[in-house]
Structure 1
Amino acid sequence: MMYRKLTVFFVAILMMGIAACNKNNPEAVAEQFLTGFYHMEYEKARQVSTEETKQLVNLMEQFAIQYPDSVKQNAKKKKIDLVEVKEEGDNAVATYTVSDEPGVQQKLKLVKQNGKWLVSHSKEDNIEDAEEEPMEESTEVAPAADTTAS
């Protein structure tokens, strides 16, 4: 009888441990992608990316080859903070900040494909993000037109 109770207890503990280690959720995927991307550990980012996102990560990796070692070392010091993750069905949006841009919240899209959460970022997302940012009003005053006849 005691053996049976212990077995049930250990199975329950094991199941809770497995559930806690589940990395197939939007929060864990966003964190892995962002950490890999900002720390220039591009393979980590690719592991949780859609095919289109992998292409963008590959492009960034090609640019990073030219960076001096000091830039790569400083990249590893960046801290990423997930502010919020909103999940709606097979889509999610993670809002985050990066330590070198305090106060600037950015968004990352995720999709669930074949039961697996992946980061879905495309070139069009950058265009949409730029369009959403309000234009700053110029405070410069144009010089007055010359109305004198020569």
Structure 2
Amino acid sequence: MSLVIFSTISLLAAIYFAVKPKNLNTLELAMIMILVVYLDSNFMDIAILNLKRFIVSDKPADRFSFYLTFILLYPLVIAWSIDRLYSLPHKALKVLFSLFTIMLIVGSEQLTKYVKAVNYVDWNWRLDIAQWLTIWLISYILHLLFRKLVLKELNQ
């Protein structure tokens, strides 16, 4: 069941991301997605292997669903949100949209918990929010620094 749910959600997200006009160039979007995969995979390695906070199911479909979410779905959502920030006119809308993105990811993680693709040990939605807020902020700040560096190189 989890494979059907998350493969459908990921496919719809990938199609939506591919057809929507983008404000950022391909290099920036790729950098954001690679950064999110790197940050999330390192966090999950620490949380699963060292802290024993998550237990990934032994079923291949559940395991594939888990990897599909953090390799494809979450990076797409964060890249999409940072891309959309450039088209929003007001700072309040940007903050609300960023929080909506984080809540969307936390909701997806709660769905993985509900379909039992991942079992949580001493973990709750507040820790999920802190995790994804941190990952989103690091991604956004590094994107701004990357953009500044690229513009500096282009101006020379």
TM-score bucket of the superposed structures, by smaller chain:
under 0.3
Q: What is the TM-score normalised by the length of structure 1?
A: 0.24
Q: Please report the TM-score for the alignment, with normalisation by the length of structure 2.
A: 0.24
Higher strand share: 1
Which of these two proteins has the greater Rg computed from alpha carbons? 1
Higher relative contact order (CA 8 A, sep 6+): 2
* Greater helix content: 2
